[in-house]
Amino acid sequence: MIPPSWLHRAEPTIKGVGLACLHLVNFGLAFHLFKENVGGPCFMAGPSMLPTLDNSGELVIESILPHRLFPNRLARGELITLISPVNPSRIICKRVIGLPGDIICVDPTGLKAPSTEHVVIPKGHIWIAGDNAAWSMDSRDYGPVSMALVRGRIAARIYPFNRFTVFSSAATYIDQ
């Protein structure tokens, strides 16, 4: 049997550990809620966004709250995160190419469809593409994507530090 004097001394330590665990769980929940509803760091890897994002992976800041507040304010050229239309358990990063009402050439490269095929983007949908057309599964494969799948936009690349970049939403247009 444990002497009562030992138990009396251990009680504050046990309470302290329990309180520390409770604070840790609270912090974890707050961080998760913040990251899922406001934004935060996100790791992106894969060849589809080369050369903008590296194949080996980079840490980016995902901005979610502005999209949740103003879901129709997507702009051509923006880097966005969205739920994959073919694998809902994955979050992917692509570039917005077309908005509702736009007429889009399905595949200007001719890799996946004839370069003469065009589509009108329906209301509530966007056309997305990876920067590396040869290695990207995007709207050329699954057509226009529902805007309901969009999570947010990529605001900045923060790691690796030597490639720090703030991504603007401005698209560059080429005069005809």
Looking at the annotation, which residues are catalytic? Answer: 48, 94
State the Cα–Cα distance between residues 79 and 143, nearest whole angstrom.
Answer: 18
| Rounded Cα–Cα distance for residues 176 and 162 (Å) | 36
Token couple for 5: 């004097």
Which residues does 16 contact at the CB level (< 8 Å), separation at least 6?
Answer: none
For residue 74, give the nearest of 106, 100, 42 by alpha carbon: 100
Backbone angles phi, psi at 118, to 5 degrees: -125, 155
The rounded distance, in Å, linking the Cα atoms of 170 and 58 is 22
| Cα(47)–Cα(132) distance, integer angstroms | 7
